[in-house]
A and B are shown apart, each in its own frame.
Chain A
Amino acid sequence: MEALTITGLTKTFARRAVDNLDLSVRAGQFYALLGPNGAGKTTTLRMVAGLLPPDAGRISIFGVDALADPIGAKRMTAWVPDEPLVYDKLTPVEYLEFVAGLWEIEPARAQDSAAALIRLLGLGPHAHERCEGFSKGMRQKVALAGALVHAPRLIILDEPLTGLDAGSARQVKDVLLERVRAGCTVIMTTHILDVAERMAERIGIIARGRLVAEGTLADLRQLAGERDGSLEDVFLELVQERREEPAAA
């Protein structure tokens, strides 16, 4: 089953940010969306999360049309932005309680889930402190816990590891992999190609609002003609090709 199907997705601001994009992600997959700055990754994911209306195209989340039934789609989805926006005056526990209330999760289930997430993400010592004094990494972990507390089937993360120290990054990666093992689908953008190479089952490369390549790392190597290259080599090769296209045309 497809967790996410995007067809002909288009969004234009001053210039075309997403250009007739087609993309599909299978349920239970860890999918990394890569691309240079301004490629349209965040715009695409914000449209999937229901934060931006597309100019054209269709978005389907587990078979639910996200544009016709946004509430139904949102019920299954979690979004973690690159800038962890949490309420300064709430504690992590209160934040998770608020999120559980928004998703109307049974209190007992939400409480258990929150307790587990707080433990897994190492937030225990700060669970009852207000977020106002937290570092960016701590806030990122609170935001991630909020995204996971309502047990979403599709988790979308925009640069979730930026600003995290090695220990926190490991905790976040472990939690995400554990969710994938439990059947969740994770779509993540990242500039840390090493992370994508080691964690993602499939990788999509987006440039100028279009998907220029997609597949496993082996598929991408083949596409780029880099038999033994790292993902970085493959990525640079594919993006470079795309950059040169208009000039060649």
Chain B
Amino acid sequence: MRAAALPWFARHEARLAWRDWLAMVQGGRRRRKAVVALAVALFVIFLHLLAYGLLQSHADALATGKRAFVALTGAMFLSWTLILSQAMESVTRSFYARADLDLLLSSPSPAAAIFKVRLVSIALGTAAMSMLFLGPVINALVLLGGWRFLSAYGVLAAMACSATGAAACLVALLFRAIGPRATRLASQIVAAIIGAAFVIGVQVVAIMAYGGMSRFTVLQSPELLAAAPAIDSGMWTLARAAMGDLGAMVVVLAASVAFLAGVVALISGEFARYSLATVGQSGGASASTARRPAFRKRSVAQTLRRKEWILLARDPWLLSQSLMQVLYLAPPALLLWRNFGGDGGALVILAPVLVMAAGQLAGGLAWLAISGEDAPDLVATAPVSARALLGAKIQAVMVAVAAPLAPLIAALAFASPWIAIVTAIGAACACGCATAIQIFFRSQARRAAFRRRQTSSRLATMFEALASISVAGAAGLAAAGSWGAVAPAICALAVVAAARALSSGR
């Protein structure tokens, strides 16, 4: 094979992508392939059962018609925004994560070719990831609605291509508008907002119009159905393609592939120039900090807590990644506002939502404080006991989680003191569970590795999610006044105990 040719680069990229994926599913450890295959198979089966369970109650909406078109188009747009967000993150990373770019760009190979292959490989990776998570939904649709839904796989591939093309255009626009230094952060924030905005937007409409948080209520509302275009409108091409219209599917797929090809052809040369412009920006340039009176008398715990908060506040990307979870608190806050003074029935939903948000936020922050340490040798050689160090870090996490939740819980206390108490206790428990799991699976890494924290331990991520769901379930049931809350509470304790048992064997 001739070196530096497009197929040669493609093979190189494919090998790297495969090894990256393998490392991700293996959680950074070399395990027997059979164990990994079994774990992946179980995960896929779980997703299939989940998708089937969720779609079963809406099976009547799958018959071709305006109702199905609206629901499917809405769901596909929601998914597309998430895929676009993921693709934007990948495109941005391809400039700034310079593991091999210095080598490639200093070689005599044309830089444009590198980015051609890289953009296509991002499209393929995005498609593969989408297949993993949305494939079970399509398979459930096939089971419930017939073989025609298999064409949705073509639509999914089209969505991945178009999202990658759109992501490349957006990143290029950001480069032109604000330059390489600011693009990294701006692009990651835009990606996160794109991923959350539409989901939250539909939820806001649901709350304002129907007093609930279900997105499906909006997509199936009589008002939206009445306002939607007629059934023969071209706007439903995507839905038709997903529901078995092969002609429509070919058109959608061809248009998306052509769009991606056009973007790759037009932008890859430009990307090579941007890439050179990002040299020296990968670590971030020095920023001056306002001089202020330093060296105040503080206890060791205060010193450590302050350091954690300063580092979090000064890293806009980490802050945006963590606070993005807080963005999801906007709909519950709106629901609280809308139902303020009511009988409290509608507010019961807030308890599990806020508890879940607390657990998720605590998981990320706990990783940053407990595992993400940039100067581990300094902290370990300080004359401070390990217990005191850990205590200060946990306090820093608890305060950071409490800050955005406290105003909501305080407002909730005026509307329904019982729900507020349950929510506060549930949030503290979810926070405690997430932090404990992070401590059990602690593995030192630099804070910059935040994005890969979930790959370092799939098990910790899984336990964290299970504990949050269990505590949120318990909080929801307790808020509704049901003794059934005891069952998920015991389940949460069991999850934490299992996490401890499994982590000690590592």
Point out residues on A near B: beta carbons under 8 Å.
Answer: 49-51, 71-72, 74-75, 77-79, 81, 85-91, 93-94, 97-104, 106-108, 110-111, 114, 126, 128-134, 143, 146
Q: A78 near B381 (CB under 8 angstroms)?
A: yes
Q: A133 near B310 (CB under 8 angstroms)?
A: no
Q: How many A-B residue pairs have CB under 8 A?
A: 111
| Nearest opposing residue in chain B for A138, CB measure | B286
Q: A51-B380, A107-B295, A130-B289 are in contact. Are A90 and B284 (CB under 8 A)?
A: no
Cα-based distance from A134 to B285 in the complex (angstroms)? 8
CB distance from B380 to the nearest CB of A (A): 5
Q: B294 near A97 (CB under 8 angstroms)?
A: yes
Cα-based distance from A98 to B308 in the complex (angstroms)? 11
Cα-based distance from A75 to B381 in the complex (angstroms)? 9
Which residues of A lie under 8 Å from residue B378 when comparing CB positions? 79, 85, 99, 102, 143, 146
Cα-based distance from A102 to B378 in the complex (angstroms)? 9
CB distance from A225 to the nearest CB of B (A): 40
Which residues of B lie under 8 Å from residue A126 when comparing CB positions? 286
CB distance from B197 to the nearest CB of A (A): 28
Asked if B30 CB lies within 8 Å of chain A CBs, one says no
Question: Which residue from A74, A97, A107, A134 sits with its C-beta under 8 Å from B383?
Answer: A74
Cα-based distance from A103 to B295 in the complex (angstroms)? 12
Interface magnitude class on chain B: 35 or more
Interface flags for B420-460 (1: CB within 8 Å of A; 0: not) read: 00000000000000000000000000011000000000000
Q: For residues 245 through 292 of chain B, which have their beta carbon under 8 Å from a beta carbon of chain A?
A: 283-291
Asked if B385 CB lies within 8 Å of chain A CBs, one says yes
Q: Kindly specify which of B226-234, B296-304, B341-349 makes contact with the partner chain.
A: B296-304
Which residues of B lie under 8 Å from residue A81 when comparing CB positions? 377
| Nearest opposing residue in chain A for B301, CB measure | A101
Which residues of B lie under 8 Å from residue A91 when comparing CB positions? 289
Which residues of A lie under 8 Å from residue B377 when comparing CB positions? 49, 51, 79, 81, 85
Asked if B32 CB lies within 8 Å of chain A CBs, one says no
19 A-B residue pairs with CB within 8 Å: A71-B383, A81-B377, A87-B307, A88-B447, A88-B448, A90-B310, A90-B311, A93-B294, A94-B310, A97-B295, A99-B378, A100-B295, A101-B304, A102-B384, A103-B382, A104-B300, A110-B295, A128-B288, A132-B284
Which residues of A lie under 8 Å from residue B506 when comparing CB positions? none
Which residues of A lie under 8 Å from residue B304 when comparing CB positions? 101-102
Which residues of B lie under 8 Å from residue A146 when comparing CB positions? 378
Which residues of A lie under 8 Å from residue B289 when comparing CB positions? 91, 94, 128-130
Which residues of B lie under 8 Å from residue A86 when comparing CB positions? 374-375
| Nearest opposing residue in chain B for A81, CB measure | B377
Q: B381 near A134 (CB under 8 angstroms)?
A: no
Question: Which residue from B300, B314, B447 sits with its C-beta under 8 Å from A130?
Answer: B314
Question: Which of B291, B302, B383, B385 has the most chain A CB atoms inside 10 A of its CB?
Answer: B383
